[in-house]
Structure 1
Amino acid sequence: MTAPPTEAGLLPLAPRNPLPYRQLLKLVRALDTGQLTIRAAGGPVTRIQVVPKWLFPPFVAVFSPDAIRDVIGRNDALSERCIVHDEVRDMAGDSLFVLPNELWRPRKRALQPVFTKHNVRSFGGHMSRAAEEFVEDRRAGGEVDLDVECRRITMQSLGRSVLGVDLNDSAEAIAEHMHVASAYTADRALRPIRAPRWLPTPARRRAQFAVRSMLKITADMLQACRDDPTRDAPLVRALMAATDPETGRGLSDEDICNDLLIFMLAGHDTTATALTHALWLLGRHPEAQDRVVAEATAVGDRQLEPDDVPRLGYTTQILHEALRLCPPAAGVGRMTLHDIDVAGYRIEAGTLVAVGIYALHRDPAIWPDPERFDPDRFSPENVKARDRWHFLPFLGGGRPCIGEHFARLETTLALATIVRALRIESHAADFPVDVPFTTVARGPIPARVTPRG
């Protein structure tokens, strides 16, 4: 039981991390693997102060299930978006990802119906068809880059299912723009000393060009829906129809385009990386791949549909283990608005709290031999026995990922569709990633595909 804010002031501060300042600076910028060293030295709740408070806010990292629950599972009046979100907001404008709590709630209410389990099921066919097109293109087998192919599959599905356009022709350019913009904002947010925003540094100019290019694509989506009222684009339509419940005012075209940009970025990266990583894992573990083949083949020789997912239990276990080892977001940040109790420690108001999802998913107290690939961790009996705060690929609490159902369904169907038709042999022993905001594969991820008999 955590103490209310009025009592949190009586608790001790989180222990200061004993690692040298220079090492901590490097580790904090390694947003995934750095968490493991920070936790090993400082424990599950640790205070990191590498520069004076007037340069960078107090910083606390949390890694245990209880501590993470106390940060993201509590009333959102006690915490807010942080400096990372401020940098994204400055570069790409207001969107569901960066809005402060008060503005976020009505926007989320307007968009949530698009991503209910019921509605998301109607999108599943797009991902299956995109995966089947990849399979048809690879009937002769050969060498592939799993990263490139999965990005293409995901972009095609995302465009056709909720955006009302086919993004295939511009998929590579969009992916490059996404990487440039997200890498700039993440790097800037984590620097204790930052150049003024008005200074046109080369990196800032490149990021601004990338954002403008993507906003041009989203503006074209919006205009296409205005020109054709019959165009099937659920997300665009929901944004066009969204109103503030208090004022009745709709969103500006600028806000609609900003939200489309963020959904395009997050929806693409999350699903593409999850699919790439799951296929790479299966390419390293043929026995698990054979079980997925048997399961998907048993469904029948036809396109897989959302109604088939309950029969793809082992495929879902593969996906969950892939998400454990390579979570869509290695961590998230929150800024405390009041003193709060986190696992028995006082986190002062104005503290940047880093929630370490990567380290949580590799906690040996929860996941024995955590680096080992083991889909049976997610067998029905193991899932039932596990606390909900042990596995958070899409976060939880008051501001979870709105597209979680979409990503899970789409990736499961694509994974089963591809592996049913093609044998995957991964060449690389490691799966390199970059972690600007969402985790993305640092391609190429080479593999050989061979048609099944």
Structure 2
Amino acid sequence: MVETVERTDLHTLPLAPKNPLPYRQQLKAVRSFHSGLETLRDAGGPVTRLTLAPKWLAPTVVIATSPQGARDILGRGGGHIEKTRVHAEMRHLLGPNLFDLTHEPWLPRRRALQPMFTKQHVREFAGHMAEAAQTVADTWTDGAEVDLDTECRKLTLRALGRSVLGIDLDAHAEVIAEPLHVTTEYITDRAMRPINAPRWLPTPARRRARTASATLHRLADDILQECRADPTREAPLVHALIAASDPATGQTLSDNEIRDELIAFMLAGHDTTATTLAYAMWALGHHIDMQDKVRAEALAVGDHELTPDDVPALRYTVQVLHEALRLCPPGAATARMAMQDVEVDGYRVEAGTMLVVGIYALHRDPALWDHPLDFDPDRFSPRNSEGRDRWQYLPFGAGPRSCIGDHFAMLEATLALATVVRCTEIRSKNPDFPIITPFTTVAAEPIRATVTARGGRRR
């Protein structure tokens, strides 16, 4: 866990420089969490300041797209830097969870849940990951055109349900997908507006969001109660949440807290991994030589269903996923609030400022990466990774509040990608992979590809 040491002479540091773009361009750019932050970086440098409204209406915004800036923002522990308005909106609608809690209640929750998500423990969650990928690939007609985005969402939903929740989520696809979309859209919309209607006012959007939240909570409660009624039910994440306790106090989670964490896990574990897989498959569909390397690697481990024991032999597959995560990170940006004056990459940032780490812009910065727009998995080989700044590659965030599910996500994606590619050749039809960032990074349109059966386990 990294924590930045605060300088004692903060008052001697200059404020972050104002961004020179005209106001309308700044406003347009800040609403685009991916390419817009690149625009602001190119105009104002790796640390730049925006004043979009009077302070009583909206906070000053400082955007950092440098490794040191990211470290100074995300590496701090304690309550110096807190979660932002979007997290408050999420807490209010979906409930307090590990993603949106403020520091004081977050700390015991993180202590309780951390043992569940170590690299060794998440192997227990892998029971049906490869099987889910295989069953999706088996539905593809030889020579058919598919939408990689839709298929990868189907795959991750199936893996999430069968591997960790003990439920067939195929039958609940609409119950999950639409409510998640409605709630995240509502949360983001409220967080981005300087002025909102009060929460007690029953607007149409609020009614839809509350209905969607209630639907998700009912599903989470059904899953939890079924696992309580049947301790032998194969649902490792749910049973782990039931058994979890804070090692410092022995306090276990209430049913409400477990339900809130299940919803957060469904939110974080569905769109994000699906988009990463879709991007990786799309890229391999344009680089058949790379696809052949993934296939050869997957075939070399044998004709059995892939398991976590095979992952050490899938090194190039992991490199492909790292490159997909670099070019299409699940969180294009992450935000915090400065609760006191802090230093960010040599500049003083005043208390009350919103701090934004532009991860997408950081990952594509030509000052940090050679040929940054090229898809090149070899940049993540052990040799080429030597000496790289830890803080220039942040697909799962970093610091004390980094994504707790990073090992799970990588295990799921590795087994799924290797399983699909060893039995299918993918030829991408879309020349590019357009993205939007309504909450997490997702495909902006269908990602078309032609799939052809190859060797491997596909029958």
TM-score normalised to structure 1 length: 0.96
Instruction: Give the match for residue 119 of structure 2.
Output: 117
Q: Displacement of 1:348 after TM fit?
A: 0.8
Amino acid at match of 2:242: M
Please say which of residues 238-247 and 55-64 is displaced more in the overlay. Answer: 238-247
Could you tell me whether the CA contact under 8 Å between 2:111 and 2:247 is conserved in 1?
no
- 2:353 alignment counterpart: 351
Return the offset for 1:236.
Answer: 1.8
Contact 2:88–2:100, Cα closer than 8 Å, also in 1: yes
Report the equivalent of 1:427.
429
Which residue of structure 1 lines up, in the alignment, with residue 91 of structure 2? 89
CA, structure 1 residues 441+250, in 2 after alignment: closer, same or farther (shift >3 Å)?
Answer: same
Deviation per CA, 1:198-230: give whole Å up to 9, x if none.
222222222222211111110111110121122
Partner of 1:197: 199
Give the aligned partner of residue 314 of structure 2. Answer: 312
Q: Distance in 1 between matches of 2:307 and 2:231?
A: 28
Whether contact under 8 Å (2:332, 2:437) holds in the other structure is yes
1:251 positional shift = 2.9
How far apart are the structure 2 equivalents of 1:347 and 1:50? 16
Structure 2 residue aligned with 1:101: 103
The percentage of aligned residue pairs carrying the same residue is 59
How large is the RMSD of aligned CA atoms in angstroms?
1.7
Counterpart position of 1:395? 397
Residue of structure 2 equivalent to 1:271: 273
What is the number of equivalent residue pairs in this alignment?
A: 453
- In the aligned structure 1, how far is the partner of 2:84 from the partner of 2:7? 19
2:260 alignment counterpart: 258
* TM, length-normalised to structure 2: 0.95
Aligned 8 A contact 1:94 1:255 in 2: yes
Cα displacement string for residues 133-187 of structure 1 (whole angstroms, at most 9, x for unaligned residues): 1222225341211111111111111112221212111124412221221122112
Question: Which deviations, in whole Å up to 9, do the C-alpha atoms of 1:309-366 show, x marking residues without a partner?
Answer: 1111111111011000000100111111111111110011111101110000011011
1:27 aligned partner: 29
Deviations 1:74-114 (A, max 9, x none): 23331111111111111111111111111111111111122
1:67 corresponds to: 69
CA distance in 2, matches of 1:14, 1:381: 36
Shift, 1:5, TM fit: 5.2
Deviates more, 1:315-324 or 1:200-209: 200-209
Distance 2:49 2:107 in 1: 31
| Corresponding residue number in structure 1 for 2:302 | 300
2:39 equivalent in structure 1: 37
Per-residue deviation, 1:246: 6.7
Q: What letter corresponds to residue 400 of structure 1 in structure 2?
A: S
Deviations 1:394-453 (A, max 9, x none): 011111100000001110111011011001111111212221222122342221111015
SS of equivalent residue, structure 1 residue 77: coil
- 1:249 Cα deviation after fit: 4.6
Distance 1:312 1:34 in 2: 35
Q: What is the 5 A alignment of 1:274-285? A: 274-285=276-287
| C-alpha distance in structure 1 between counterparts of 2:260 and 2:277, whole Å | 26
Name the CA distance, whole Å, in 2 between partners of 1:184 and 1:371: 32
Q: Distance in 1 between matches of 2:118 and 2:251?
A: 24
Q: How much does 1:388 deviate?
A: 0.8
Give, in angstroms, the shift of residue 247 of structure 1: 6.2
Does the aligned pair in 2 maintain the 1:2–1:344 contact within 8 Å?
Answer: no
- Structure 1: distance between partners of 2:185 and 2:65: 24
Q: Which runs of 5+ in 1 are unaligned?
A: none
The one-character-per-residue Cα deviations of 1:261-300 (angstroms, maximum 9, x if unpaired) are 0111101122111111111111121111111111111111
Aligned twin of 2:449: 447
Counterpart among 197, 212, 234 of residue 214 in structure 2: 212
**1:12-39 deviation line (CA, Å, top 9, x unaligned):** 1100111122221111111111011000
- Contact 1:270–1:328 (CA under 8 A) maintained in structure 2: yes
CA–CA distance in 2 between the matches of 1:296 and 1:147? 22
Q: Distance in 1 between matches of 2:58 and 2:250?
A: 39
Q: Which moved more, 1:190-199 or 1:13-22?
A: 190-199
Q: Which amino acid is 1:316 matched to?
A: V
DSSP 3-state at the match of 1:437: coil
Instruction: Determine if the alignment matches structure 1 residue 50 to structure 2 residue 52.
Output: yes
- Could you tell me which runs of 5 or more consecutive residues in structure 2 were left unpaired when the two chains were aligned: none
- Determine the structure 2 residue equivalent to 1:129: 131
Distance (whole Å) between structure 1 residues aligned to residue 227 and residue 309 of structure 2: 30
Query: 1:4, CA displacement in angstroms?
Result: 2.3
Q: Cα distance 1:84–1:412, how it changes in 2: closer, same or farther (>3 A)?
A: same
Give, in whole Å, the separation in 1 of the partners of 2:320 and 2:274.
15
Q: Which amino acid aligns with 1:334?
A: R
Instruction: Give the C-alpha shift of residue 248 in structure 1.
Output: 5.0
For residues 385 and 249 of structure 1, the distance between their equivalents in structure 2, rounded to whole angstroms, comes to: 42
Closer/same/farther in 2, CA of residues 114 and 246 from structure 1, 3 Å limit: closer
Corresponding position of 1:413: 415
- Give, in whole Å, the separation in 1 of the partners of 2:248 and 2:427: 55
Amino acid at match of 2:264: I
